[in-house]
Structure 1
Amino acid sequence: MAGELDTSQIKDWRSIVTLIVFVITNIIAPLIADLFLLAILAIGRQEVHDGTIGVDNIHPIDIMVFFLTLAYIAISIDASGLIRYLAFRVLKAGGHHGRRLYFYLYTFFFVLTGCIGNDPVILSGTAFLAYMTRVSSNIGRPRAWIYMQFATANIGSAILVSSNPTNLVLAGAFGIKFIHYTANVIVPVLITAIVLFPFLLWIRFNDEALIPRQIKMHELPDEVLDEDPINPNIPDSRGDTHERQLQEILNPFLDKVGAVFGSVIMAATLITILAINAASQRGSETPVFYVTLPAAFVMLCWDVGYGWWFRDKTRTIARRARLIDRAKQEEPRKVNAEHAAIEKADGRFDLAPMSPTTNVASLSATPDEVTNTPNAKAQVHDEVQTAGPESTPSESQRQAHLSDRESDDDRAEHGKRLLERDHEKISLQLLLEDAAWWLRETFPTVAAVLNHLPWKLVPFAFCMFVLVQALVTKGWVPVFAHGWDHWIEATGVFAGTNIGTTILLSRVVQEWVSIHRSSGIAIPQRTFWATVYSMAIGVNYGAFSTAFSASLAGLLWRDILQRKEIPNEDRDVTRYATLTLSEYQP
């Protein structure tokens, strides 16, 4: 039977086995674990309740609401362009001196992270550094700059409780007042920042290709610098071109009113939190989200109202982008039709493909106007060169004609646009995409903030809380606490990393205290607080570890680098983070 089998056409055989690939991410893995434990009845209602509502001074819902609402304010400030503008001012202050600029950016990112947290700094700072290093002709690789920024973002996040959700878990678990927390960690954090900079500059990245003494930056033409910068939150068709990268660095957009309002809201929120927490008897008796939730709502109302007030301006910019995008989509079909018509009339003609810009400039042209003569080509070239804000009267009339065709009712216009799509059926996906476009062009700040909020943290954190609570109810945490007790006696204190480890270690330390209390042997205060604060340092510093998954900020950092086409593999993080981590770990 085997001898009669013809294997010459084996490449054309169809497999009877279908390979189904399930992608397991850091978000899905703990969720699958929770569902599996629920399915086999290993955990039940009590574990889910305690892991979401909270117990023993750890309240996951309070922590998540606090973090998301404060993150909304911080990212709204970032969406106003303030961080990008401040980075531009730092860039101007550093000039073309590479090492001086490296120091200025190092200090800037460290201070900014201490004030508003690491997520907004990573979100905006990473993109800024990616553009800056790309438009610099003598910076070979951005490695020194992006690793510096990520390290300082994780160091600075240890200063304030509000800078990192892991800090809030520790403060709530052990009843630490926010002002006491900052007072105890600020000295080691500052020492770390002082020691780390020379290590990065003269040891880790001591290479002219990474940090040149003189930075040669490409320059923009004066007419481009004189243009009003466009809000990057508004959808436009400029793309991620070289000129746009230069514009976002050397001519950044800044919403002054929104930046000032957001900064005032953030400052008032943090001061109120510190005042209420300091006035409490022990730790934070009043949930901190009682302060951040109203503040975030005020910020949301401001963003919505501000976007609605200037909706005509933002829609005009977005409409121009929509026309260009539509022209790009229609161009292949139009070129093919024109090519076929000309070949049918005279086979000797060979129409060259038109560029997207040429097609945009001739949107109102009729088929009769399409010729292959040199004069016609020159006319099209002249139209392309004159297209812009200061266009010729004919071009202005053409743009006005196109704008008049846009309906005043944006929803109706979007529906019409969907109906006009050839060979494409209306689906829920198209309707959602259309609604998202309308939201981006009407409320650009709100859309940008909602898109960049750390939503992935919510399911991940809740699932980790439930898993740790399952260990508590099943008796594993007391076992870990006994092991912890022996570990402390032998080696002193130790710290972990990531929010999952923070939750687990907080429970272990709480059980460790209970064991000593029941045995009548008190834990020395020095040992106890050294354990807590070393853990606080470790969960922040350890985020810059040997893997992206050590923190959600690391995952966000990796996603931004991938979007900016900057190669950065896991082995690179392990290679460059190991020495740096060992250098500044206390």
Structure 2
Amino acid sequence: MGATLLRKRLLGHVECSADLPPPRSRDHARQRRFSVRPWKRLRFPMNFITAPLIADLFLLAILAIGKKEVHDGTVGADHIFPIDIMVFFITLAYIAISIDASGLIRYLAFKVLQKGGNNGHRLYIYLYIFFFALTAFIGNDPVILSGTAFLAYMTRISRNIKDPKAWIFAQFSVANVGSAILVSSNPTNLVLTGAFNIRFIDYTANVIVPVLATVIVLGPFLLFIVFADNELIPASIELHELDEAARNRAPVNPNIPHARGTADEAELAGNDDEANNLSLEEIMNPFLDKGGAAFGAVIMAATLITILALNAATDTTKEHPVFWVTLPAAFVMFCWDVSFGWINREKTRSIARKGRRELEEARAKRAIEAEERARLAALEQGGVADGLPGVKSEEAFPSDYASPSGLSGSPESEKVGEKEPTTLRADSVQHPQDERPTLASLFAETYQWCQETFPTVTAVLVHLPWALIPFALAMFVLVQALATKGWVPVFAHGWDHWVRKTGVVGAIGGMGFLSVIMCNFAGTNIGTTILLCRVVQVWIKLHEQSGIPITQRTFWATVYSMAIGVNYGAFSTAFSASLAGLLWRDILSRKYIPVRSSTFAQVNLKIIAVAMAVGCAVLVGEMYITRSGTEAYQAG
């Protein structure tokens, strides 16, 4: 019966195949292959670097701007010197990120975690104050880099924190509030103080009271109103315990490639158990380079004190560029990092080799397991072939599957496995022969060598905000184009009408509102600061030409409300309101914490409303107390 059915099926297959069209000729196939040209899709990124650069090139191409706009937008004009600002910020950022690379921030966060204990509300306030103080000292970029990763790990290893939203939004908002205190903490502060010849110590003295008031009010507001949910901020936090072996294990430098072996790959693969163990060890057993952290802290403190002292003692009309202080300090820090890396190069290279070998062995093991699974699946399907008469299993499954030694369940293999346990080695995996080296491969090898030999220097150079340079310079040129083509005077006339109608309170409220809103669509808070500073400068010239002076109270109310707005505006409605927001989102996405744009805007609208209301209200009182309402402002 079965043979008859099989014969009918075979005959039917032959009859159907006879009706098929004949195969195409080889010439036809060759002609078709050469007639179809392969097209490669080119993806050109349109982001905060390329967009302003393309706009500048387009304006140059149509002769809308010329040499003057490019020169004034890069070299500088009207007390704003973009290149000096960029050098100052990048060199100071090197010192700050070097401190971060030493592990100091994560170590201090671990100590704060220990201090807070299991009390959720107390730990929330402790971390809130910690991130604020740290940002005020070294700026928001290092805090965003390490603080965000720390919170991602901390909330992952907690048993009863269902959503990290309360912790990450508090950190992001307070980091941008704290960046308003010192000029060195944010490039927007550098642009503003340079535009109006403000001494750094005077700037800090005028903004510190509104900022502290904001921090005092915002913390309880976040804890008891915005995130008043026990699943977000539990009254008692339950953290997983680190086992004794992991607690006694020497912490490894995360800047060394493959230092954690297969842990990084497990995190990327989404292995929850291994990822949680990694997170727990990252927090409870943090790496700290004591020498690098201490030296970096001393260099940073000496640099900031020197800048403040020289800036306070020097006449603003004969002021020297501040990067004359930060550039030598950054070079000293760079020499320290290079020397320390070279002295310990054998140790770091050994750690990298060991981790790379473990990673390759793990990949080889997974490849063998995948091959075994495929072999078992093929054996299960072999039952169908065994049921057909005249068909042998060797014919159905040729090659290794037919040999007894290739079957995992054979007695011979079990005996071999019992007597001679095999050890997986990276060398057992056959790799294709090395091809000719390319520029990309040479660059990759050089980069890997630098990571293994100078892990700290390489990590710092990678995390420096290099993208800020082309972005800021292109935005300076665009704003200079608006100024030379008459748009900035139009905006200045509009601002003048508003201030005349509303007075000091209107100047503070209006400039605060404008600066926050414009951060979301005027090229981040940096582009907003550049544009608004030009508007205020032209506003001063309008009053000089008309002979009607601006009062001290009105002018400084406008300037310092702008300072508050461009710093607070980073946590408003869009990630693109600041470069820190884009960095924050990128770090969270790599830690598998996606934050939607709608969620970002929804949560931050409540926070920015209260923060700006408190900051501007305190600034109004400060201006009425400290500034004259009759004395005219004299531009320096």
Aligning the two structures, in what range does the TM-score lie when normalised by the shorter sequence? 0.7 to 0.9
Does structure 1 residue 489 correspond to structure 2 residue 523?
A: no
Gap change, CA 1:211 and 1:375, over 3 Å in 2 = farther
Question: Which of 178, 183, 193 is the aligned partner of 2:205?
Answer: 183
Deviations along 1:470-496, one digit per CA (max 9) or x if unpaired, are 111112211111111112223422131
**Separation in 2 of the partners of 1:342 and 1:335?**
16
Does structure 1 residue 520 correspond to structure 2 residue 561?
A: no
Percentage of identical aligned residues: 61
Does structure 1 residue 146 correspond to structure 2 residue 146?
A: no
Letter in 2 for 1:82: L
- CA contact 1:172–1:284 (8 Å) conserved in 2: no
**Separation in 2 of the partners of 1:308 and 1:341?**
53
Does structure 1 residue 459 correspond to structure 2 residue 459?
A: no
**Separation in 2 of the partners of 1:253 and 1:538?**
37
**Separation in 1 of the partners of 2:539 and 2:328?**
38
Gap change, CA 1:315 and 1:16, over 3 Å in 2 = closer
**Separation in 2 of the partners of 1:140 and 1:374?**
50
Question: Which of 290, 298, 316 is the aligned partner of 1:282?
Answer: 316
Deviations along 1:20-74, one digit per CA (max 9) or x if unpaired, are 6543112211111011101111111111111110011100000000000000000
Letter in 1 for 2:57: L
Question: In the alignment, what sits opposite 2:346?
Answer: 312
1:373 aligns to what SS in structure 2? helix
Question: In the alignment, what sits opposite 1:115?
Answer: 137
**Separation in 2 of the partners of 1:188 and 1:61?**
30
Letter in 2 for 1:462: L
- CA contact 1:177–1:283 (8 Å) conserved in 2: no
Question: Which of 96, 112, 128 is the aligned partner of 1:90?
Answer: 112
Deviation at 1:332, TM superposition (A): 6.6
- CA contact 1:177–1:284 (8 Å) conserved in 2: no
Question: In the alignment, what sits opposite 2:234?
Answer: 212
Question: In the alignment, what sits opposite 1:253?
Answer: 287
1:372 aligns to what SS in structure 2? helix
1:455 aligns to what SS in structure 2? coil
Deviation at 1:374, TM superposition (A): 6.4
338-347 or 504-513, which deviates more: 338-347
Instruction: Provide the aligned C-alpha RMSD in A.
Output: 2.7
1:543 aligns to what SS in structure 2? helix
Question: In the alignment, what sits opposite 1:243?
Answer: 277
- CA contact 1:48–1:466 (8 Å) conserved in 2: yes
Deviation at 1:378, TM superposition (A): 8.9
Question: Which of 442, 452, 460 is the aligned partner of 2:453?
Answer: 442
1:552-563 correspondence runs (5 A): 552-563=579-590
Gap change, CA 1:577 and 1:374, over 3 Å in 2 = farther
The structure with the larger Rg is 2
Question: In the alignment, what sits opposite 2:33?
Answer: none
Letter in 1 for 2:572: S
Gap change, CA 1:335 and 1:133, over 3 Å in 2 = closer
**Separation in 2 of the partners of 1:514 and 1:121?**
39
**Separation in 2 of the partners of 1:281 and 1:528?**
21
Question: In the alignment, what sits opposite 2:155?
Answer: 133
305-314 or 432-441, which deviates more: 432-441
Gap change, CA 1:448 and 1:20, over 3 Å in 2 = closer
**Separation in 1 of the partners of 2:369 and 2:403?**
15
Number of residue pairs matched by the alignment: 525
Question: In the alignment, what sits opposite 2:632?
Answer: none
Letter in 1 for 2:81: H
Question: In the alignment, what sits opposite 1:53?
Answer: 75
Deviation at 1:203, TM superposition (A): 0.3
Question: In the alignment, what sits opposite 1:272?
Answer: 306
Deviation at 1:245, TM superposition (A): 1.1
**Separation in 2 of the partners of 1:23 and 1:566?**
24
Does structure 1 residue 501 correspond to structure 2 residue 528?
A: yes
Deviations along 1:304-334, one digit per CA (max 9) or x if unpaired, are 0000000111001100122223334555776
2:609 aligns to what SS in structure 1? helix
Question: In the alignment, what sits opposite 2:383?
Answer: none
1:259-408 correspondence runs (5 A): 259-282=293-316, 285-330=319-364, 343=401, 345-346=403-404, 349-350=407-408, 372-373=413-414, 376=417, 380=421
Deviation at 1:221, TM superposition (A): 0.7
Does structure 1 residue 70 correspond to structure 2 residue 95?
A: no
Deviations along 1:94-136, one digit per CA (max 9) or x if unpaired, are 0111000001000000000000000000110000000000010
Letter in 2 for 1:222: E
Q: TM-score, normalised by structure 2?
A: 0.78
372-381 or 127-136, which deviates more: 372-381
Gap change, CA 1:221 and 1:329, over 3 Å in 2 = closer
Does structure 1 residue 480 correspond to structure 2 residue 480?
A: no
Letter in 2 for 1:476: W
- CA contact 1:172–1:283 (8 Å) conserved in 2: no
Question: Which of 203, 213, 220 is the aligned partner of 1:198?
Answer: 220
**Separation in 2 of the partners of 1:427 and 1:580?**
51
Letter in 2 for 1:39: A
- CA contact 2:405–2:412 (8 Å) conserved in 1: no
Letter in 1 for 2:586: D
Q: Which runs of 5+ in 2 are unaligned?
A: 1-35, 268-274, 376-397, 520-524, 617-636
Does structure 1 residue 222 correspond to structure 2 residue 273?
A: no
**Separation in 2 of the partners of 1:341 and 1:242?**
42
**Separation in 2 of the partners of 1:451 and 1:191?**
36
**Separation in 2 of the partners of 1:18 and 1:40?**
31
Letter in 1 for 2:62: I
**Separation in 2 of the partners of 1:18 and 1:487?**
54
Letter in 2 for 1:512: W
Deviation at 1:427, TM superposition (A): 2.5
- CA contact 1:171–1:283 (8 Å) conserved in 2: no
**Separation in 1 of the partners of 2:406 and 2:70?**
76
- CA contact 2:183–2:190 (8 Å) conserved in 1: yes
Q: Which runs of 5+ in 1 are unaligned?
A: 1-13, 353-369, 385-397, 403-416
Does structure 1 residue 540 correspond to structure 2 residue 567?
A: yes
- CA contact 2:405–2:413 (8 Å) conserved in 1: no
- CA contact 1:175–1:284 (8 Å) conserved in 2: no
**Separation in 2 of the partners of 1:148 and 1:35?**
40
32-41 or 471-480, which deviates more: 471-480
Deviation at 1:425, TM superposition (A): 5.2
- CA contact 1:546–1:574 (8 Å) conserved in 2: yes
Letter in 2 for 1:440: Q
Gap change, CA 1:337 and 1:103, over 3 Å in 2 = closer
